[in-house]
Structure 1
Amino acid sequence: MKLVSIHILYSILLVSIIGSQSAQAQVWTMQDCIDTAQVHNKNLQMGRNNIAIGEQKEKEAKANLFPKVTANADYKYFTNLPYQLMPLSTFNSTAPEGQFKEAQFGVPHNINANLQLSMPLYNPQVYGTIQTTKVASELTELQYQKTEEQIYFEISNLYYNAQILLHQIAFIDSNHINASRLLKNMQLLNQQLLAIGTDVSKVKLQVAQLTTQKEIIRNKYEQILNALKFTMGISIEQSIQIEPNIQYQSANEYTPSSTLDIRIIKAQNRLLSIELSTLNKSRFLPSLYLFGTYGTTGFGYDKQSNGFLKFYPIGFAGIQLSYTLFNGTITQLKLNQKNFELRNNILQSGILTEQNNMQIENAKLQRIVAQYSVETSTEQIKLAQTIYEQTILQQKHGTASLTDVLLADNALREAQQTYLSVVIDYLRADLDLKKLTGNISRIK
């Protein structure tokens, strides 16, 4: 669609304002600000770090399927060798059955060193964790996109506010020129005894008020620029200047797409469903592990005269099957919790969808009204400017009083303020519509 500049009457003043500052500062377009924030904004940097963390967690979950090898070593010195009860018939074949005699086995020094291998052949919890970390990684990506969208929204809002303040300064400059001319005229008339001193004072007061108002607006403009630089992630000391002309696409229609909030809810739904499925599998499916050990065992005796230290190899392999018969209904209680969370997730998805549709319709209505108001207020400014100029001419010819001039000037200011207000309303409604339809990241 055709890009139309909303600022028509004061373009010359805007060019002079920006021209005087651009010699000292670079002019940044909105896209420049967004591109800079993409690189330097710390929230986005943390978001990218979170994505990297999610990727590492996904790899960690998959690593649980790999074999685990551990090295173990221990040394024991028995001050008292362990006892074991032996049947008395072992020592005396004629001893009656049911009688035992204690005996100490082993040697004081025991050394063990081995390598142990374990590998899950099947574990429903491991596979469930892999699935959940994959979805969690996608969820982190969506959260990053949401942060990115919010940064775009904030930058756009700040940029528009700064542009509005620039135009407000231009209006004030224009009014200041008119008031200064009027003051010179009134001072001349006062010298010719055709105007009283009070009239001169009224115009002086008007000029002073415009000067003060300009300083206030300029201070607000600097504050907005500081907030914009902070959001972009650049130094507050860096000097920048924004593009003065606000451009909008008249009656632009945005293609609705799934918003990030709804996509996040759907990802959470998938995550809950996987957790629920994993819990169900863990109730009915066993876990199967492969394990093995290879090492050496050493025995030592330190008494005279048969002292020795000997090592003997040890190795074995096996398969372990684990199945939970009863765990105190913990799994069932967790299942109940996940079922309620899943129900809430479905309800929340419905609420967000309905709310988003309602907000889209409201934003469209607000933008239509604001667009009509922009066109109307533009004509009102032209009319108020014409009336003011005609009143000045009439005042010079003595057919209009100073009061008529001041009234015409106030009417012009009100028209200017109304114009800026409806421009703000339009830009906010358009920005809200972009966000609600999932087009905020397409700002150019």
Structure 2
Amino acid sequence: MKLVNTHKLILLILFLFLKMEIASAQVWTLKQCIDTALVHNNNLESGRNSIAIGKEREKEAKAHLLPKVTANADYKYFTDLLYQLMPLSTFNPAASEGQFNEIQFGVPHNINANLQIAIPLYNADIQGAIRNTNLASELTELKYQKSEEEVYFEISNLYYNAKIISHQLNFVKANLKNAEKLLENLQSLKNEKLATGTDVSKIELQISQLKNQEQNLSYKYDQIINALKFTMGVSLDLNLEIKTNIKFQESLQEESGIILDYQIAKTQEQLIQSEISTLNQSRFIPNVNLVGSYGTTGFGYDQSPNEFLKFFPMSFVGLQLSYPIFNKGVTKRKLKQKHFELENNALQQELISEANAMKIENAEMQKDMTEKSVLTTEEQIALAQKIYNESLLQKNEGLVNLTEVLLAENALREAQQANLTAIVDYLKADLELKKLRGNIKNINY
């Protein structure tokens, strides 16, 4: 029985191990990488927190419209009672005018307790804060969308770079294999006195260069994959593999979407206008509050035999107006600053519009150029394939040696590699164009 349980445990461990191996060898598509980054990317998580902070600030600004209720209480013990001057004629009608006599009155123990309420009927600062926090939240959401677009662009760009490096690495490995075959062939020819030592040394040098190139490309590929993991927000220990197939698919031209840089600048303009409006309102319109108080006042005396403690109600309601008459010109200076900010914002909007138009035109030219390169390299592949096939036939007929076949094969691989590079360049150009037009989320997976 123990032996059976042991076998079951071993099988379970092997099953889990194989399952982990399969999971670790999972190939990630571009869409999976982007979806993962949208959830785990640190910049996006920070952006979501900023949006939540903005929502709380909106609630905070609106909370100032609610009644403010405070409870107050105080106790005072007067070691010296208050003095007041009274006209002497109050006590002596014969006293002349202008004569006074000091009087000490009151009791030593004083107790006050009340509830006070203040309701803002109109307050320019509160109304302005509500408008400003709404616009600030909108601005934060636009910046978050901008961060999302940057993640789409960075992930796609890194993914395409990893693809092309992977193919370059395979290309170098194939060339290295051919070079080693060529070296064996030349060494045989040298032994037969049909090749020189210089020919052999040249191939040995080529092999050394290819090995160094292979190592450099391998390091570069690992660096790109690490950057991809970092941007995705996953652990660098994750065994991440990508789909290396590269397929040309012509992208149709799309209408421009929302240009977030311009939209951000436009929202910033609205925010500045709102701040100017708030400053003007606080400058000319008084703040009005409805105020009220309900409480009691207590008086006490502690000397025998006349000690007492009595309480009397005290309450009121009223209106409170606050109007700034002179504040050293602070508001005027702030208004001038805001008008300068408006001018800068207008210049920024114009710059964004012109720069984006220029970049779109350049990106369209780059896309057209890379599309033509794809077609040209396809023709070169067909020609290189024809030469390679002819070399194979000639070798079978004994007209050429292995060296000629290997050279033709290398030429074919170079043409294929050039085609793959052209396709990736086309995808990058299309990606840049989508980013500039505000359609980067419509990328071809």
TM-score of the alignment, normalized to the shorter chain, above 0.5? yes
How much has 1:209 moved relative to structure 2?
Answer: 2.6
Q: Quick one: which amino acid aligns to residue 70 of structure 1?
A: T
2:109 alignment counterpart: 109
What amino acid is the match of 2:430?
Answer: D
The 1:238/1:348 distance shift into structure 2, 3 A limit, reads same
How far the C-alpha of 1:254 sits from its partner, in A, is 2.4
Between stretches 254-263 and 299-308, larger displacement belongs to 299-308
Aligned equivalent of 2:153: 153
| Deviation readout 1:411-432 (Å, 9 max, x if unpaired) | 6676566556544543332221
Q: Does the CA-based 8 Å contact 2:431-2:443 persist in structure 1?
A: no
Q: Which amino acid aligns with 1:102?
A: E
**Partner Cα separation in structure 2 for residue 101 and residue 175 of structure 1:** 118
TM-score normalised to structure 1 length: 0.87
Deviation at 1:140? 0.7
- What is the SS of the residue equivalent to 1:249? coil
**Which residue of structure 2 aligns with residue 93 of structure 1?**
93
Give the letter aligned to residue 98 of structure 1.
G
Task: Give the secondary-structure state (helix, strand or coil) at the position aligned to 2:81.
Answer: coil
The answer to whether 1:181 aligns with 2:181 is: yes
Q: Distance in 2 between matches of 1:41 and 1:94?
A: 93
Shift of 1:195: 2.6
Mapping of 1:23-422 within 5 angstroms? Answer: 24-384=24-384, 387=387, 418-419=418-419, 422=422
CA contact (8 A) 2:175 2:410 kept: no
Q: Over aligned residue pairs, what C-alpha RMSD do you find?
A: 2.8
What CA deviation, in whole Å up to 9, does each residue of 1:123-150 have, x standing for no partner?
2221121111111111110011111111
- Name the CA shift for 1:99/1:401 in 2 (closer, same or farther; >3 Å): farther
- Structure 1 CA distance for aligned equivalents of residues 327 and 65 of structure 2: 25
Letter in 2 for 1:194: L
- 2:9 aligned residue: none
Change (3 A) 1:133 1:335: same
Secondary structure at the counterpart of residue 135 of structure 1: helix
Q: Paired residues, what number?
A: 424
CA distance in 2, matches of 1:307, 1:235: 79
Equivalent pair of 1:124/1:287 in contact (CA under 8 Å): yes
Instruction: Show CA shifts across 1:309-360 (max 9, x none).
Output: 3222211111112223333332222222222211221221111111111110
Unaligned runs of at least 5 residues, structure 1: 1-20
Equivalent AA in structure 1 for residue 110 of structure 2 = N
2:336 alignment partner, SS class: helix
TM-score (norm 2): 0.86
Contact 2:182 2:406 in 1 (8 A): no
Gaps of 5+ in 2: 1-20
- What is the CA–CA distance in structure 1 between the aligned matches of 2:279 and 2:24, rounded to whole Å? 64
C-alpha spacing 1:224/1:34, structure 2 compared with 1 (3 Å): same
Instruction: Work out the CA distance in 2 between the residues paired with 1:273 and 1:360.
Output: 31
Deviation per residue, 1:235-284 (Å, 9 max, x gap)? 10011111112345315212212311001011111111111122222222
Shift of residue 298, structure 1, vs aligned partner? 1.9
Post-superposition Cα deviations, 1:28-82, rounded to whole Å, max 9, x if no partner, equal 1111011001111111111111111111111111111111111111222222223
Partner SS, residue 435 of structure 1: helix
